[in-house]
C-alpha cells in the first residue's frame, strides 16, 4: 500500500517536472499589446458617373455632286465623322444622346420639308475600356445600338448602357460612335445651305 502511494507521488512529481520543462522550452513570455482607433472618417460618393466627348470639334464636311449618288453621306463605313464617349463610372449607367441642329441658308436659299429627327444617324462602332476594360472584366455588361439609328433633335434616345459589376471593374469605359447624314431626309434645299449639329451626350446612373 505504501509503495503504491510512493509510486503515485513519483508519477505526479514527474508530470509536474515535464510541464515545467515544456513551459521553459516553449519560452512562455508575456507580450504586452495596446490598441487605439481613429474616429470614423467618411467618404461620400457625391458623383458616380463622369462623361467626356472626345474630340469636341468634329470638323466640317462638304457634300458634293458625287455624294448625291447615295442616300447616305458616309465617305466610309464608319460615316463621315467619329467621336469617342469616355465614361468613368462606379455604378450601372445609361447613355442618352440628342442633337441640336441649326441651318444657315445660302444667300437667297430656302429649306423645306427637312426631317430634322431623321437627318443624322448614329452607330456605336465599338465599346471598350482603357487598361483593364471589358477584356479583363468579362462580366461587364453593355447594351448598344449596333445599327445605324436616327439621332433626333426632339428626344433623347438611349444609346447604350453599361454595368459595373459587384466585384468591381476598372471604372473607365469608352465607346466609339460614327455619324452619317441621310440625304433623303434633307427635303428641299438650296446649294450652299449649311447644317450645323451639336450633339449632347448624357450619362445617367441607374
Partner 1 sequence: MIIKNRLRKLALVGLLLLLVTLPFLLNRSQAHPAIDLIIASGGSISASVVENDLTSRYFAPANFVTTLQVDVDYQTRSWSVTADVDFISGPAPAPASALEVRTSQTVNFINAATPMIIYSGTGDATFNVDYRLDLAQLANGASSLVTPYVFNIVYTATDDGGASDQETATVTVYATEAVRIAVTGNPSNAFVTRSSLMSRYFAIPGTANFSINAITNYAITATGSLLLNGNPASLNGILEVASVSATSNVGGAITLGTFPADVPESAPGLFLYRETFGTLNNAGNATTAAVSFRMDLDAIGNAGSGWTYTFTVTFTVTEE
Residues that bind partner 1 (CB under 8 A): 29-50, 88-92, 163-172, 205
**Angle at CA of residue 199, ends 112 and 81, nearest 5°:** 90
Q: How near is the Cβ of 88 to partner 1 at its closest, in Å? A: 4
| Number of neighbouring beta carbons within 10 Å of residue 149 | 15
Q: How near is the Cβ of 8 to partner 1 at its closest, in Å? A: 31
Q: How near is the Cβ of 9 to partner 1 at its closest, in Å? A: 28
Q: How near is the Cβ of 58 to partner 1 at its closest, in Å? A: 23
Cβ proximity to partner 1: between 108 and 167 the closer is: 167
DSSP state of 2: H
Cβ proximity to partner 1: between 59 and 168 the closer is: 168
What are the start-end ranges of the E strands in 72-183?
72-73, 81-89, 93-104, 111-112, 120-128, 142-144, 149-150, 157-162, 172-182
Cβ proximity to partner 1: between 99 and 173 the closer is: 173
- Alpha carbon distance 39, 45 (integer Å): 19
Cβ proximity to partner 1: between 1 and 41 the closer is: 41
Amino acid at each position: 500500500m505504501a509503495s503504491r502511494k510512493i509510486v503515485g507521488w513519483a508519477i505526479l512529481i514527474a508530470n509536474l517536472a515535464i510541464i515545467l520543462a515544456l513551459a521553459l522550452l516553449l519560452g512562455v513570455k508575456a507580450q504586452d499589446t495596446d490598441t487605439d482607433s481613429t474616429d470614423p472618417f467618411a467618404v461620400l460618393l457625391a458623383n458616380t458617373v463622369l462623361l467626356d466627348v472626345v474630340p469636341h470639334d468634329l470638323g466640317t464636311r462638304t457634300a458634293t455632286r458625287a455624294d448625291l449618288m447615295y442616300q447616305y453621306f458616309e465617305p466610309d463605313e464608319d460615316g463621315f465623322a467619329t467621336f469617342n464617349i469616355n465614361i468613368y463610372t462606379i455604378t450601372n449607367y445609361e447613355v442618352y444622346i440628342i442633337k441640336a441642329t441649326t441651318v444657315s441658308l445660302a444667300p437667297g436659299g430656302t429649306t423645306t420639308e427637312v426631317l430634322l429627327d431623321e437627318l443624322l444617324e448614329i452607330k456605336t462602332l465599338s465599346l471598350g475600356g482603357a487598361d483593364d476594360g471589358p477584356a479583363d472584366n468579362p462580366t461587364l455588361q453593355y447594351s448598344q445600338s449596333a445599327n445605324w439609328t436616327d439621332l433626333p433633335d426632339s428626344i433623347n434616345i438611349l444609346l447604350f448602357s453599361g454595368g459595373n459589376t459587384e466585384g468591381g471593374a476598372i471604372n473607365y469605359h469608352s465607346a466609339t460612335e460614327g455619324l452619317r447624314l441621310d440625304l433623303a431626309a434633307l427635303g428641299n434645299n438650296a446649294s450652299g445651305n449649311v447644317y450645323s449639329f451639336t450633339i449632347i451626350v448624357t450619362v445617367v446612373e441607374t
